[in-house]
Amino acid sequence: MANQNKGLTRIIKAGGYSYQGLRAAWINEAAFRQEAIVTLIAIILAFFIDVSVLERILLIGSVVLVVILELVNSAIEAVVDRIGTERHELSGRAKDMGSAAVLVAIILGLFTWGTILWHHFFA
């Protein structure tokens, strides 16, 4: 049977699924809550810092990337846990790589914020 959801209906349903995913991450993932709160604070702060539009986009984008990758990491962990609870090398590798992606994004965010703030306030 062909997918009956087309056009606006598909977009509305996709939005609902996205909301469910964000809600599930907020309820079930402490790391997501922490990173989302830090991201919200950073976004607000980015609008009070006297930087160019491009620099503001980099500041905001670098912290939003952390939240995006945390969602992907949480999805990977949920799928791996759904498959089974026994320890398996590939399951551990998948979880570790997802976690590493979040760490790399955090380092990028810190580098971006540090570089832009240093340039504007100390250089």
Q: What pLDDT, in 10s, does the model give residues 67-100?
A: 999 999 999 999 998 888 888 899 999 999 999 9
Enter the tokens of residue 71: 């969602």
pLDDT category of residue 2 using cuts at 50, 70 and 90:
low
Tens digits of residue pLDDT in 40-66? 999 999 999 999 999 999 999 999 999
* Residues tagged in the binding site annotation for ATP: 10, 17, 29, 77, 86-88, 95-96
The pLDDT of residue 85 is 81
Which domains does the chain show, CATH number per domain? 29-120 (1.10.287.3610)
**C-beta of residue 70 within 8 angstroms of C-beta of residue 103:** no
Q: Which of 70, 91, 98, 109 is catalytic?
A: 70
Whether 70 sits among the annotated catalytic residues: the reply is yes
Tally of CB atoms within 10 A around 94: 17
109, 58 in Cβ contact below 8 A?
Answer: no
What is the C-alpha separation between 72 and 116, in angstroms, rounded? 27
Which pLDDT does position 6 carry in this prediction?
Answer: 81
Confidence of residue 3 (pLDDT cuts 50, 70, 90): low
| 8 Å CB contact between 36 and 64 | no
